[in-house]
Every structure is written in C-alpha cells, then in structure tokens.
A and B are shown apart, each in its own frame.
Chain A
C-alpha cells in the first residue's frame, strides 16, 4: 500500500521578502469550480449561499468564499457539491500566493496590464488577466495586499517574475 506525502505548489519557495513587499503561499483547504448549466444560475447561487454563506458574486468580484473565475464559472474556497452545475475539484490545480506591503501596486504595475490602484480596484475586486506571460486571477484582499492565482505547474515562473519586479521597485528605495 502506498503512503502518500502532500506537497504544496510553492513548497520550499516561499516566503519571499524584498524591500517592503512579502510574498507568502496561500493554501486553501479545497477549491471547487462551479459552472451552472443553462437556467440554473439562480438556484446554484442560492444553494451555495446555504452551503458556504455566499452566493455567486457579480462578474469581477469575490464575495466571501466565492470568486468569479471567468466566463460562466466561479471558484469556491471549500469542498462543495451543488446540483445544476458542473462541479470539479480544483484544490490541487492552482498556486495561490499573497503579495503584501507598501507599494505593492508598483510591483504589479510592472507585470499586470490592468489598473490595480486602490481608487479603481477595491477590496474584493477580481481581475482575470495576465501577469507577464501567465494567465492569472488577481484579487485585492486589503489596502496593500493582493491574492494571485496561477496554474500550479507555473508557480516557479510566477515567483521569478514577481521577484524581478520586486527587486526593480526595491532598488529605487
């Protein structure tokens, strides 16, 4: 019989601090994608509200454990099953990091082609976009913090790109 050991996507690579900015790994207990079938969006939203305390948020938004994750799909932080939707376990598919610190917008402005300044991109706002060459989901989690999600296999590249941008910003003092 096998005895399996679990490793997180950024195992051994984080935390990373350069200047005022720190990147840490976020390890969600579970991630579940929920894509409602035709005509089921409302019912799915209500079912989720009952199960995880939040329904399907609007486009480009996070509400509690539920994050808009692209065209017709939401990502739930947690293991859930709902009727009327395609539900898949995505717990191991994503590398999730938090980047936090004063000037974090300056770091992300070097990588992400979307306006992430606090006046425009507020807490709970979500952007499906790119970070350098990577497809990412960016969520503002606080005044000086963001959560960035990319494909698990590309975690090293994500951290490489963040590190280069962090060094550039930190060098300016």
Chain B
C-alpha cells in the first residue's frame, strides 16, 4: 500500500502480473505496494517466503530477471531497481509460486534435517552422481540459467585515491566531507542507488533539519569538490593486499539503455575508512519465516524512504530500544500499529499503541502470508491479528571487510555483537555503526574524527566540524531464540533452523566451522550476513560456552555475490587473448588458407587449390614445391632478438651450449639453449652482423620465453656482461624462400643478384630489395637450398605477394604449416614437439654441442648421471610399413610381443607425417636406448585412437642424410 500517490510510475511484470513501480525504488517496494507478500520459495523445503529486508542482505526475496540470453537468476528484489518493461519471475517453484509441488519437502522435513543427505545417500556408491545428486539438485536450489550465452557487456576498471570511504551513511558522508575538505583525493562508494544510508530511511534531524535534507546539502558539497568521486550503486566487495579493494558497480539503466550491466572496480587506496553500517538481525521464533515477517529496519525503510506500508496492521517484536522507532514511524505515517512486543521487562511505553513487555512471539499463522501472531507474556498467551511483523533482534556491525585478510572480530558485550578488531586490514580504519557506534551523532562524530586522523597520516590537515544529531542510547538484552512448537529459522536462505544447529552440537560438530559445514548455516549467497551471529549464539548455548569462546566463521570476499561475467569482463570473445597477425595475413586469407593459431599468431595451415578436397593433397603439393622448385613461407613469427655490446659474444657463449665468439661476421650458426636444469629450452640460428652485433632467432613458441631468459641472464646472473638485448621480431617481415630454384627466384627481386660463391650455406648480410634495405640469411629448415629474406614490416605484404607470384611462375608457390612440418620431419629437425621441456641435449643426440671449453647455462646439470646413458629415451626416426599405415603422435612404443601396458612402454611418438618425398608415413619419437636400436621393428600403440602399427626404428634424418642439398 502506498502512503502517497506517486508522480511518475513505470510498469514491470512479476510472474506475468503487471505491477506499477516508482522510478528509483527497488522491486521489493513495488511488490509490497501492490500487496504481494509471497515472493519466493525457499531453497530446501520450498517454504513460502516474502520480503525480509530493504537491502543487499536480503535472504528470501530472490528472483530471476529477464529471459533467454538475458536471464539472470538469484537477484535480490531489494536491490533490483524497477524499470519499464522489466520482467521479474519467482524461482524454485513449480508449477507456480502458490502451488509448488516440491513443497512436499516441507511435509517430510523431519527426515530432511541437517546431515540428512550425508547419512542417507551413502550407498550404493554408483548412485551418487547418477541418481542422488541430480534428484537432490532438482529438489533443492534457487534460480536457473537459461543455458543460452549471455550477450550483455560487462566492464572492469581501475581507480586510485588517497582515501576510499566505504559506505555513505552518516559516518561515511562525514568522513568524505572531512577528507575532501582537507584536499585529499577521495572516492566515496555506496551500494545504494542514492547516498545517505540510514539518513534516508529514518525520521530524524541532522543539523536542525530533516536528515534527508542534510544529505542533499552534503552531497552537493561533495559533488562540487574536484578531488572527490562519488560512486553510487557500488558495493565494495573485498579488501586485498597493499590497499587494493574490489568493488562491484551496477550501472544505472543497464541493459535497457544499451549500457554495460556491471563494472568491477579495482580501487587502490592509500587509506580506507570503512563506514559500512550495521545489519539488523532477526530473532529465531517458531515459524518466523512467514511472508510478512520482516526486519524492523526494512519496514522503516519502506515506510520512510519509499512511502510504502508493508502491511495494514503491523506488529513490532524486539529486544532493544531501536525497535520502538518502528512503531513510532508507522504511527506517524498513519499505519496501524497492532502491538509492540518487547522481550525486556523494563521497556517503556513510547506511543499510542499496545506494549507488551517481557513478552515473546511464540507462533505465527497464515499459509501464504502472515495473518496473526501468538505472543506469550507473564499473563499467558494472546493472539494478535496483523499482516506484518517487524522484528529487531539487535544490530550486527558490518565487520565483513575487516576480516578479509584473516582478521577476527571482537565480541562486544554492550551491544551483544562483534565489532572490528583494529588494524585488521593495513591502512583501513572503521567508523560509525560498523564500529559499534549506533547513534547518528556518534556516527557523524566518528566519521569526521577517523577521517581527520587518516588525512593527517597523509600529511594533510583536517578540521573536525560535526553537525548536531540524535544521540539516543541503544540498550539491548540479548534474545536469540524463542522456544515453542515449530521450526525457528536462522538462515532463511539455506533453510537452517535452531534444531539443526543443536543437532550439530549434539553430534559433536561443536566447532563453529564444523557446525557451519554440517548444517550449511551461512553458506548461501548471502554468506550468513544476518544469521551467523544468531547461529553462533545458539551453538554457544548448546555447547555451554560463551559466544567469544565459540568464535566466528571466516568472512571471505566477496561481500555480495559477484557474477563471473563481471570478474572476467574484457576477456569475452576477442578480448580473451591478443591476436597477432603477420604482414602476409590478408594475402594468405585471400588464397583461402585456413589460419591456425601458433602461440598468439595466426599462420596459414595450407593453401588449397581448386580440385583439392583434402588438406593432404594441398600439403603434398606444397612439399613438392620445396623439394622440386621453390616454396615461400612467412617465418616472421619466429623470435628475433638483437644483441649488441662488447660482451655480446660472451653472452651467447653463456646461454648457448656451443660457442659463438668463434663465429665469423657474415655467418650464421645453429645454437642449442638449455635451461639451468640441463633440459633443452629452445634452439635456433644466430647471425653475426658485426663484431659486437648479433641477431638471434628463436622458435615462435619460445620467443617471449627466450627474451625473458636473456634479460634474466644479463640482469640477475651475469650483470658483469656489457650487452643489450632488444626484440626486433616485429620490425622485420621475414620469408623463407626454399627449394632448388630459390636463388633464381631471389635474383628476380633483389637489386643485386647473388651467387652461391658470395652466399654459401649459413651466410648472412645486407641486401637491397626494390631499393629497401633488407637482410638475407642462407639458412634452411627444409633441408633444401634455401634463404630467409627480411624487409621492414611495412613492406611485408607487398614482398610476400611478389615472392609468391614469382614462385608460381617457376612452378612453385606458398607453403603452409602442414608442409613446413613434413619438410622438417623428413630432415629430422626438431621443434617443441621434441624439445618439450623434458628432453636433454643427450636425448636429442646433440650432446656433442655442449662445449667442453666454457661454462654455459645448464651445463653442470646436463652432466648429471641420470640424464645420460642407455636408460634415457633417445630421439629416433620411425618408418611405417607403407602408405596405408598412418602413425599417431602421442602413441607409445613397445617391444614386439610385449603387452601394451604402461609398465612396458619404452617411449613415445612426438611428430608424424605422410612424406610424399619418401612415400610412406614417418614419425619422430623417443625410445629407450633408441640410437642403438636402428633397424629394429617395434610396435606403436595409441590407446586413445585405437591404432596399432609396426614401425622400423631408424635415424631421425630420413632424407638427404649428408645435407648436400642445403649446402649445394
């Protein structure tokens, strides 16, 4: 029921029913205004539930918003803003909220107590995943996802400040004002749609005017300060190391306005002031979960802030002075107060409504909504008709963030609750209600004082100027649970009641952490915000200990649920990983080449031609180009590192197993690089361009790794070396020109023709390509007479197209990764399929490359006895029985006659291909004592692909073993 007629409304639907809401208000306010009490079904027992609170701590009113790709489950109706056309659905009910079949769970509830699942669904074991779990999951649960891919956008963002003020109630506003006026760079974050906290919800004066008016003035002053940033709808969710805070920002308008839905902030603050306020806690009395039973603070928020009366006749039940506010506010708003029930004997009458002191609520009635309550006083019981009961069990300071770095809160007897332990989070201080200071005046004062201390730390001077405000005392007499017939709910979201906690204690789950896990108390999305202290008190009572001895469970981030979508914002789709494109990319795509990922790069797999229906046809043809004519391949993705300095050669001697100080200028040498543990890290060629100038080539996969390694060696291991390294990978577009006609082709693009005499195998130097200064290397990864020609990247696409066109004239063309792989397997050249991190120089047959004349990275470890000898699996070639006998990479190798079991495995296959040159399938692999077994026939077995083949062990170099073709 609305207390006044709103000026403007929007229409949304709840389970299809059209409902009017007022812009700015939460869905819960509009539902209450429309007289809707039943909003949800509970998690486990499908109990009818209504709206409990008016904040992010809401336990009951979880709804689903939207449908299809935009469907979002488990949204709290109390923080969901109404908007035109919004579709809201109840959840966890079938066929309807009112007639929910699974409510049968509630009837058999005596059998579903805490621990029921653990005790019941024990055997047979095979039923766990197939039968029990699906049934339990269907019966218990909250909302569901649609199964369709979410199309919304989310953001993450970074913010920096001197002082982060968390919460914009009286303490937070004063803290921000004080720090802002002192000139500090301030961020004020509050999860509500408007700042002001309880000043927007209570009827009281600040500085001689209505609190809400004072808030407007304070916000105007803050907005005018260029050094203050106000972040509404932003919940600080976690406190992390070195002053980093996570914060979930909900974006006003969101989906409907084409905006991102949420933004996850990383806020880095030199100091933080926690002004998170306090959360009211319920009292556990029989059937205290009926729709209409609410927290008193929630009732006041609906009445005072949103102008909505949650009932026609409202009763109030509390154990503290604060509860009486509710009755006063209701009366002032013209809502009937049915009764005030105060558990304390000495409570005072404060208004024109019936007061029962020393009384408790012992029963409630009403199937889908509250109809009456039964109270017990010193004079017996009495039934009071009411459709709403406002409950206040006292206040819990919102200490959560202070516990995020392993801090434990301290029990405060005076307020019967936990308060933060100082210095729990380095750089964070607490003020106001979250610190146990409950009156408005105390909050304003603490906010100002604490902020003044913080800015003084930062070298700024602040003036403490606090407005006058209500300073009422807060007297409480603990009341946790009321005895009586029926379940007394503690954790409404996970359906945990008093008996469950007592059962846990009885079954010796006496530690609070054990009780939590046994009962699931506090493990729902709300993380026990409202319920944990009550549960602790009940456990303390059941185990005969005090609450401080019982302790608390750990509050962990996030303070409110945070969607995975917003945590991973920016990493959807193309944001997942960078894409690296070569200069020849469009030219390859133009030719229909399927592009495959190689690291972050995209490289052509093969270049299909008309009439080819299988990649193998293209691949075989491209291999033929290189073996018989000339092929072109973009090799720009290989890492290129420029190394200069007086100690450049010494650096190379140290990182490579073989020597480079002896390399002549204008020559290239193959180098093998080890990790310090003696295993192969990478390999490649290094060219000496000048006495103190080298260019190292790395594999595509290890380019970043090798760059980091060289910087590590220079900065951490050998800072005595005077050399500089810098990546030039991106500077050069480099193309392999390979095959018998490669020189002839090059001479069509080079400004000065080259000869074999001037450019012998492993020569390098400067060339001019169409007037552009380039580099030429006579190196070969195919075993053919070949070159790599490099030009500055801006010319890459143009040169690639010209090389390919020229190659085609000569009976060749471009070749892709598939052909490249065949060519190198035929030659026994290794890639990271072979040097995969567990192989040594000895394993790949290159132990003679480890120079005896000098130390190098990995040399000492490579000489360890276990890394040498017959027991090692050594690189071998594997030849299949013929074209119809394809091999399989990843397969294991077995002796003939041995069973194909793990213990009998003698090695494995790393690379396979069909070789059009040799006319059979080839493989490379590692075989125990393999170099001594050339000529033997063994068995290859792939259990995954169900392939068994006999293979002949041979030298890994299948083709042109003396290397004459490359040198010629």
What distance in Å separates the Cβ of B636 from its nearest Cβ neighbour in chain A?
A: 8
Pair B155/A37 contact, Cβ less than 8 Å: no
Which B residues lie within 8 Å of A141 (CB)?
Answer: none
Which A residues lie within 8 Å of B792 (CB)?
Answer: 89, 91-92
Pair A90/B728 contact, Cβ less than 8 Å: yes
List residues of B (586-641) whose CB comes within 8 Å of A's CBs. 600-601
List residues of A (1-20) whose CB comes within 8 Å of B's CBs. 1-9
Does B731 belong to the interface (CB within 8 Å)?
A: yes
Total A-B contacts with CB atoms under 8 angstroms apart: 151
Pair B157/A5 contact, Cβ less than 8 Å: no
List residues of A (61-79) whose CB comes within 8 Å of B's CBs. 71-73
List residues of A (88-105) whose CB comes within 8 Å of B's CBs. 88-94
Pair A109/B157 contact, Cβ less than 8 Å: yes
Does B724 belong to the interface (CB within 8 Å)?
A: yes
Pair A171/B258 contact, Cβ less than 8 Å: yes
**How distant is the Cα of A86 from the Cα of B722 in the complex, in angstroms?**
10
What distance in Å separates the Cβ of A115 from its nearest Cβ neighbour in chain B?
A: 4
Pair B799/A93 contact, Cβ less than 8 Å: no
Pair A117/B726 contact, Cβ less than 8 Å: no
Which A residues lie within 8 Å of B794 (CB)?
Answer: 6-8, 92
Does B24 belong to the interface (CB within 8 Å)?
A: no
List residues of B (143-162) whose CB comes within 8 Å of A's CBs. 153, 155-160
Pair A161/B731 contact, Cβ less than 8 Å: no
Pair B798/A132 contact, Cβ less than 8 Å: no
Q: A35-B724, A73-B726 are in contact. Are A6 and B259 (CB under 8 A)?
A: no
**How distant is the Cα of A110 from the Cα of B263 in the complex, in angstroms?**
9
Which B residues lie within 8 Å of A38 (CB)?
Answer: 722
Pair B749/A2 contact, Cβ less than 8 Å: yes
Pair A4/B791 contact, Cβ less than 8 Å: yes
Out of A5, A91, A164, which one reaches B731, CB within 8 Å?
A91
Out of A5, A33, A120, which one reaches B160, CB within 8 Å?
A120
What distance in Å separates the Cβ of B232 from its nearest Cβ neighbour in chain A?
A: 13
Pair B798/A161 contact, Cβ less than 8 Å: no
Pair B251/A164 contact, Cβ less than 8 Å: no
Does B257 belong to the interface (CB within 8 Å)?
A: yes
What distance in Å separates the Cβ of B375 from its nearest Cβ neighbour in chain A?
A: 52
Out of B160, B258, B772, which one reaches A115, CB within 8 Å?
B160
* Stretch in B642-650, B665-673, B957-965 with 4+ CB within 8 Å of A: B642-650
Does A42 belong to the interface (CB within 8 Å)?
A: no
Q: A4-B770, A91-B731 are in contact. Are A117 and B722 (CB under 8 A)?
A: no
Cβ-closest chain B residue relative to A108 = B158
What distance in Å separates the Cβ of B648 from its nearest Cβ neighbour in chain A?
A: 9
Does B575 belong to the interface (CB within 8 Å)?
A: yes
List residues of A (22-50) whose CB comes within 8 Å of B's CBs. 33, 35, 37-38
Pair B582/A153 contact, Cβ less than 8 Å: yes
Which A residues lie within 8 Å of B157 (CB)?
Answer: 109-110
Given A2-B802, A114-B158, A160-B574, 9 additional A-B pairs, CB 8 A? A1-B770, A4-B770, A88-B642, A89-B728, A93-B730, A93-B731, A110-B155, A154-B580, A164-B575
B residues with CB within 8 A of A: 153, 155-160, 185, 251, 257-260, 263, 266, 268, 570, 574-575, 577-583, 600-601, 642, 644-646, 715, 722-724, 726-732, 748-751, 769-772, 791-799, 802
In order of increasing CB-CB distance, the 7 nearest A-B pairs are: A2-B770, A86-B724, A86-B644, A115-B160, A93-B730, A92-B793, A2-B749
A residues with CB within 8 A of B: 1-9, 33, 35, 37-38, 71-73, 85-94, 109-115, 117, 119-120, 132-134, 151-154, 156-157, 160-161, 164-165, 167-168, 171-172
